[in-house]
Amino acid sequence: MRKAYIAGNWKMNMTPSAGAAYAAELAKAAAEAGADVKIMVAPPFVTIPAVVEALRGSSIIVAAQNMNDHKSGAYTGEVAPEMLKDLGVTTVILGHSERRSYYKEDDAFINRKLLLALEEGMDVVLCVGETLEERESGKLEEVLSTQLVGGLKDVKAEDMEHITIAYEPVWAIGTGRTATPEDADSAHAFIRGQIAKMYSDDIAQKLIIQYGGSVNASNVKALMAKENIDGALVGGASLSVEKFLPIITYDK
């Protein structure tokens, strides 16, 4: 039985003081509501220390939104995995569509970061997804397959327990548009099938696959009811307890 995994990606929002206040409020609200899911928040780099402190003693995971593919060196403006670990971060989001699109990160670069994260003992949320043009031209499966094969290159079977896949159709991120539960589940089923081909049926069945793309309180139940959707990578709706709490308590 796969445990639901709900993650909030704050993107470039929340100062350290605002993030700490929000995190403390979220932890209290989630505990009082009896939330029975795995919860993660991913603040901006500068906000991570304050959030880690605010969530000390809580089961909520603090993740990073990105990291570099080197352990150290002359890489101005970048952050190494050891720096994140020293703060108490054990999980990193890699391959987000905004990193792929705005900063031209390709599968090879994402793969180097992913392998380093695993080497450093970190968990990874690997994002994959197609643009609207790719979907409408019938390239959905080709795009997902390419991103999975490239992103997971040289990842050993035993390391797959540290990998979560987030399917995020690019056209649904921050647009208010959401793939139908049926379309999302179909894409998730394809991803699970690809992992079975690359590794094994057992690994594929244990794999947590999140859906990301304008998830909110009104659509989360329908999405989570689908067989292959195991969680959500939430953007805008994760920036307030009022909007995020109904998502992490969708089954209550």
In the DSSP assignment, the letter for residue 3 is: P
**CB–CB of 14/47 below 8 Å?**
yes
96 is catalytic: yes
User: Which residues contact residue 73 at a Cβ distance below 8 angstroms, ignoring those fewer than 6 apart?
Assistant: none
> Is 168 part of the annotated catalytic residue set?
yes
Contact partners, residue 107, CB within 8 Å, separation at least 6? 95, 146, 147, 149, 150, 151, 153
Question: Which residue in the list 96, 98, 105, 130 is annotated as catalytic?
Answer: 96
Helix spans in the chain (H): 16-33, 48-54, 81-87, 97-102, 107-119, 132-136, 140-151, 181-198, 201-206, 220-224, 241-248
For 77, the token pair is: 């403006």
**Residues annotated within a binding site for substrate:** 9-11, 174, 214, 235-236
Strand partners, 8: 41, 234
Structural Rg of the chain based on CA atoms: 17
Residue 42 dihedral angles phi and psi, to the nearest 5°: -125, 95
* From 134, 168, 182, 188, the catalytic residue: 168
Query: Is residue 212 within 8 Å of residue 202, measured between CB atoms?
Result: no
Please enumerate, by residue number, every residue annotated as part of a binding site. Answer: 9-11, 174, 214, 235-236
Within 10 A of 76 (CB to CB), how many other CB atoms are there? 5
How many residues in total does the chain contain? 252
Q: Residue 38: name the closest of 159, 154, 98, 125 by CA.
A: 125
Catalytic center residues = 96, 168
